[in-house]
């Protein structure tokens, strides 16, 4: 039930009222950043629960998931296919091998471009990343009238990103809502080809 706002009441919205007024929501998830945050928290993400928690009853325009891919990794391809069939628009880029032997794909530009290109189609952007390189994009869409929520692990989040967001949510505070239950079967996300994606064995 919605609270009515009477003259003389405090003009400050409660957190619940803020969520009620989010309008159309677009979600932008930095897959690699989220994976490492989950690793720090010692949890595995349940992506169905994550989508429900982030949307929180608002009208969802689209949920984007950005990730580097190794096209020879069949289990990773299986995970991304599952994501596409379960409410996510997957934006991928081939991993590039760095001089130190590690592999990486930076999708900051793709996230920033999509956030800007869709302005006018959504009212609230939910950015799941702690990358300070995205602060300029967040600031830019804010000036276009978009409300921006940043969701990430505090220890992995740039102050510059928090400073330009309208709301910041520490992943640690919602981990119980988005984690897989113990021994829950399904795909586990791994962003680097050397680690790969593992499918948890089904219980006997």
Mean of the per-residue pLDDT values for the chain? Answer: 83
Q: How many CB atoms lie within 10 A of CB 107?
A: 24
**Is the full-model pTM beyond 0.85?**
no
Look-up: residue for tokens 């592999």? 103
For residue 99, the model assigns a pLDDT of: 81
What is the DSSP annotation of 101-112?
S-EE---HHHHH
Distance (Å, rounded) from C-alpha 38 to C-alpha 175?
9
Q: What does the alpha-carbon distance between residue 109 and residue 113 come to, in Å, rounded to a whole number?
A: 6
**Each residue of 143-165: pLDDT tens digit?**
999 999 999 999 999 999 999 99
Q: How far apart are CA 166 and CA 173, in angstroms?
A: 17
Q: Mind listing the pLDDT tens digit for each residue in 33-68? A: 999 999 999 999 999 999 999 998 899 999 999 999
Burial class (CB in 10 A: 0-12, 13-18, 19+), 127: buried
Task: Give the CA dihedral 88, 114, 197, 101, nearest 10 degrees.
Answer: 180
Q: Two tokens at 46?
A: 């349940």
């Amino acid at each position: 039930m919605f609270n009515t706002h009477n003259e003389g009441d405090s003009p400050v919205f409660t957190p619940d009222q803020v969520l009620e007024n989010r309008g159309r929501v677009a979600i932008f998830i930095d897959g690699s950043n989220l994976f490492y945050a989950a690793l720090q928290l010692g949890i595995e993400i349940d992506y169905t629960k994550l989508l429900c928690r982030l949307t929180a009853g608002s009208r969802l325009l689209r949920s984007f998931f950005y990730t580097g891919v190794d096209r020879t990794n069949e289990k990773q391809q299986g995970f991304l296919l599952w994501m596409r069939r379960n409410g996510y628009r997957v934006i991928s880029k081939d991993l590039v091998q760095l001089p130190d032997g590690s592999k990486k794909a930076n999708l900051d530009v793709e996230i920033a471009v999509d956030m800007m290109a869709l302005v006018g189609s959504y009212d609230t952007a939910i950015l799941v990343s702690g990358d300070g390189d995205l602060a300029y994009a967040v600031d830019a869409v804010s000036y276009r009238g978009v409300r921006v929520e940043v969701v990430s692990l505090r220890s992995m989040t740039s102050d510059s990103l928090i400073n330009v967001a309208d709301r910041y949510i520490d992943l640690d505070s919602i981990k119980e809502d988005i984690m897989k239950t113990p021994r829950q079967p399904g795909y586990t996300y791994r962003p680097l080809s050397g680690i790969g994606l593992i499918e948890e064995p089904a219980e006997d």
